[in-house]
Amino acid sequence: MSDPRIVITGSGAICGAGRSADEVLAAVLAGHSAIRAVESFDTSGWPVRIAAEVPEYNAAKLAGDRKLLKFIRRSDVFGLFAAGRALDQAAFDAWRGTLDEAAAAKAADSTGVYVGSGSGNFSNQYDYLPLIAQGALPTFGRELSATVNPMWLLTALPNNVLGHVGIRHGLKGPNACITHHSVSGLLALAEAAEALRAGECARALAVAHDAPIEPQALLYYQRLGLMSGRGLSPFDAEHDGSAMGEGAAALLLETEAAAADRGATVLGEVLGVGNAGDALGLLPVDDEGAALQRAVEAALAASGLAPADIALVVAHGNGTPNSDASEARALGRVFGAAMPPVTAFKWAIGHLLAASGLIEAAVGLAALRARSAPGIATLRTLDPACAGLNVAAATRPLAGDTALVISRGFGGDNVACVLRAALP
């Protein structure tokens, strides 16, 4: 018996460049970057002052429940928003409302949730700082309950989105929360797809969210030598680091049969995922990108495709010279002179860490459906270390319906995913 086809029926996204995958794609195609001066806190004297923040942030409006804000973080708000939008686009709740009680219960039990989370951010600890600054442990113990929000533990849970999405939408199937740095989002997608292939559920919502734009995060990443102070220019000769973004994405996956049974509109298909590690340490990146090459080749093998079948590569493209160069070398070995158009989105939306891979998959799927290979607007002169990479500053027409999406993270982790679009 062959594995079922895994189709995508709903998409949700939010970041500094838009509040849907189509809005983000429109910003990318227009050459607009959301990376600008940070407004959420005073950056005076701070070594990093730029990021891609979500504009006009209104937590109650985005989360859809003012009371819930006592129990969740900014990152969770984004995750709930994206999850709701994906379910709305898929008309899932509306469909379930037409079912009788038994069928509705079965639909709830057969729908899973898989979330890629940024775990906890430093801001979770800020309630403690005034007491810690006083220096006396007896004072800390005596005043703790009167100073620290009693809901602190609940707001700090990394699985908040997983739990609240399930509660809000009545999703009772298999679930998991993945906290694995920047590859969390694509791993959530991979786990969701695998659950469907294994027959554990009929549909699964994959969500990823993060909000790393805060003083300590920007400072510590800068001290690691990973941040740019002027912008993000992947593969460019002047690339000097990354820039943070925030937001979330969600994709609703269903078996082809489950989607057909409820008459769902299919946006695309998850063909295969590959995963491999450099195993060099927490920060080092293999100069040749050998593990990334293995991840790409594994994704292609799982998809039953050859390199020539890929129409678009959505690169990790985080703007750090060693990551960009090793990514280019890996792609060069996989595709050779016949490399398809390569794009990247972090120059426009920032690096969303745990949410980066999934939002780039959602926007990549939108690009396929628009038949466009988006340009990298910050590209001026290709870095010689990235020679052979098929990138351009301008948007190019796209011939084909299949994309390879790449995500990389600390610890030398590399994940590649192959998607196929259902062209409108």
pLDDT in tens, 387-423: 999 999 999 999 999 999 999 999 899 999 999 999 8
Please tell me the predicted confidence (pLDDT) of residue 128. 77
Residue 43 domain flag: yes
366-383: pLDDT as tens digits: 999 999 999 999 999 999
* H or E element that contains 153: helix 152-156
318: containing domain: 6-120+158-421
Residue 132 domain flag: no
Distances (CA, A) of 405 to 71, 237, 274, 311, 349: 33, 23, 10, 11, 16
Residue linked to tokens 């739990």: 163
| pLDDT surpasses 80 at 183 | yes
Residue 68 domain flag: yes
Please tell me the predicted confidence (pLDDT) of residue 148. 77
**Cα-only R_g, the chain:** 21
Residue 331 domain flag: yes
Residue 218 domain flag: yes
Residue 126 domain flag: no
276-331: pLDDT as tens digits: 999 898 888 999 999 999 999 999 999 999 999 999 999 999 999 999 999 999 99
Kindly state the average pLDDT of the residues 167-172: 96
CATH of the domain at 192: 3.40.47.10
Please tell me the predicted confidence (pLDDT) of residue 119. 63
What is the DSSP code (8-state) at residue 380? S
Terminal Cα distance for the chain, rounded: 30
Please tell me the predicted confidence (pLDDT) of residue 286. 92
The CA-based angle 198-202-206, given to 5 degrees, is: 85
Residue 213 backbone phi and psi in degrees, to 5? -85, 90
Average pLDDT over the chain reads 94
- When divided into structural domains, the chain yields a total of 1
What three-state secondary structure class fits 51? Answer: strand
Residue 144 domain flag: no
Nearest to 242 by CA among 415, 378, 365, 413: 378
Give the chain's length: 424
Residue 349 domain flag: yes
